Structure 1
Amino acid sequence: MPAKSKAQQKAAGAALAAKRGDIPKSDLKGASKSMEESMTERQLDELASTKRKGKPEHVTKH
C-alpha cells in the first residue's frame, strides 16, 4: 500500500531503519514507533519507498 502523505512516508522510513538496526528503537516517537511495532519489514519498505512527488505533507481525517 502506498503512503498517503509525505509525513507517513517519513515515519515509515524511520521505523524501517529502526527495524533493520540502523538507528536505535529508542529514537522513535509517535507514529514511527507504533509502525515499527505493528508492521513487517516488507510493509514498511513498501510505505517508505513510495514516491513523494505530488503527495501532501499531511492528510486530515474526515
Structure 2
Amino acid sequence: MPAKSKAQQKAAGAALSAKRGDTRVKDLKGASKDMYDSMNEEQLEDLAKTSRKNKPEHVAQDE
C-alpha cells in the first residue's frame, strides 16, 4: 500500500529504521510510534519506499 502523503512516508521510514535496530524505539513519536507498534517490517517497507514526488505534505485522516 503506497503512502498517501510525505508525512506518512517519513513516519513509516522512521518506524522501519527502529524495527531494523538502526534507531532507538524510545526516540519515536506520534505516528511513527503507532506504526512501529501496529505494523510488521514488510508493511512499513511498502509505505517507506513510496516516492514523495507529487505527494501532499499532509492528508486528512479520513481520506
Aligned residues: 62
Q: What do residues 11-61 of structure 1 show as CA deviations (whole Å, max 9, x unaligned)?
A: 000000000000100000000001001000000000000011000000024
Amino acid at match of 1:48: A
Q: Structure 2: give runs of 5+ residues left out of the alignment.
A: none
Partner of 2:6: 6
**How do residues 9-48 of structure 1 correspond to structure 2 at under 5 angstroms?**
9-48=9-48
TM-score scaled to structure 1, two decimals? Answer: 0.96
Unmatched 5+ residue regions in structure 1? none
Moved over 3 A (4+): none
Root mean square deviation, CA, Å: 0.9
